[in-house]
Amino acid sequence: MDLLKKLTEFDAPSGKETVLHSFIKGEAEKLGYEVTIDALGSVIAHKKGNGKKLMLAAHTDEIGVIVNYIDENGFIYFGRLGWLEQKELHKRRVRFENGTIGVIGVNEERYENKPDMTSMFIDIGATNREEAEKLVKVGDTAVFEGEFTVSGDTIVSRALDDRVGCYVLLKAMAEVKDSKNDLYFVFTAQEETGMRGAKSSAFTVMPDYGIAVDVTGACDMPGAEKSDVKLGTGVAISHKDAFIVSNREVVKTLQNLAGENGIPYTDNVKDGGGNDSGAIALTGPGVKAGAIAIPLRYMHSPSEVIKKSDVDACTKLLIEACKHEW
């Protein structure tokens, strides 16, 4: 788990993934891949083959906040980088790029009448605007704090969405020695703010097939939607989300590969949410695309929860997908 822990420790909100991308580029080059970084910052690692172009994608960015105003008392107002549950933000710690720690507070009276982001602020302990601006400025970004811990088969950490997908890609890259496919492992930027990195990198690659590797909401808690996607059930093969109806050939191939190799899986259908497959599918004349995912509880929080056994199942299926002649 050392590699996954390392990946979660990088602060990389949307648009600020550079340091993490440099690390991933180095890891890919150690494995002998030809690596480029596109204009949006996505890392494209290529292993040449004579078959179909297969793009495997996992996003590097995490949810965060961006400063839009500092008031005369030194309180910092902010906007979202990615989807955030407002009700979960109060009293959460955030960490700015320079290491400054802040706590999210709420104007209780204003929030009661207008419960939105304008009622929230970040407190860094400053007494006035001038003092605050010595540490934080408009346009600065921050991420949420959350320690990486392992207990048996359970992993709890910040930023597992989608550093665990990046981990799966890197593990597959190390394992896939022979493939007839033309393989592109892509670590995409800015997924949380509109799948932007997948759009630009897919235009660079112009793949025949695309598979996104991400997390998906586990449906095993009180009040959750009805679904077989739960922690410990293996890899989830996506049929639909808010941005794509997965290509039937891709879905069937992934199901067959899982069945043939004894890899536990569940079928995943979502009305909401999305991942990079939705952007990849709409590239050029269209791409046959789908997604595989790891069930996760408490998405977009500092304490996301997954199972190691599900990560292993996802990794094994991705390896088989890379070896399969599409």
Give the separation between CA 195 and CA 53, rounded to whole angstroms.
Answer: 20
Give the separation between CA 58 and CA 166, rounded to whole angstroms.
Answer: 5
Give the separation between CA 54 and CA 52, rounded to whole angstroms.
Answer: 6
Task: Encode pLDDT of 234-287 as tens digits.
Answer: 999 999 999 999 999 999 999 999 999 999 999 999 999 999 999 999 999 999
**What residues does CATH 3.40.630.10 cover in the chain?**
2-62+158-323
pLDDT at 112: 61
Task: Encode pLDDT of 24-47 as tens digits.
Answer: 999 999 999 999 999 999 999 999
- Confirm whether 130 is a catalytic residue: no
Active-site annotation holder among 191, 192, 304, 320:
191
pLDDT at 111: 60
Q: Looking up tokens 């992934």, which residue turns up? A: 254
The 8 Å CB, 24+ separation contacts for 166-169 are 166/7, 166/24, 166/58, 166/59, 166/60, 167/3, 167/4, 167/7, 167/311, 168/58, 168/213, 168/294, 168/311, 168/314, 168/315, 168/318, 169/56, 169/58, 169/213, 169/318
What CATH code is assigned to 64-144? 2.40.30.40
Give the separation between CA 300 and CA 178, rounded to whole angstroms.
Answer: 36
pLDDT at 129: 97
Handedness of CA 183, 236, 270, 248 (dihedral sign): positive
For the chain of 326 residues, list the mean pLDDT of each consecutive stretch of 10: 95 95 96 95 95 97 96 95 83 94 84 69 96 97 95 96 97 92 97 94 96 95 87 96 96 98 96 94 96 95 96 98 96
What CATH code is assigned to 2-62+158-323? 3.40.630.10
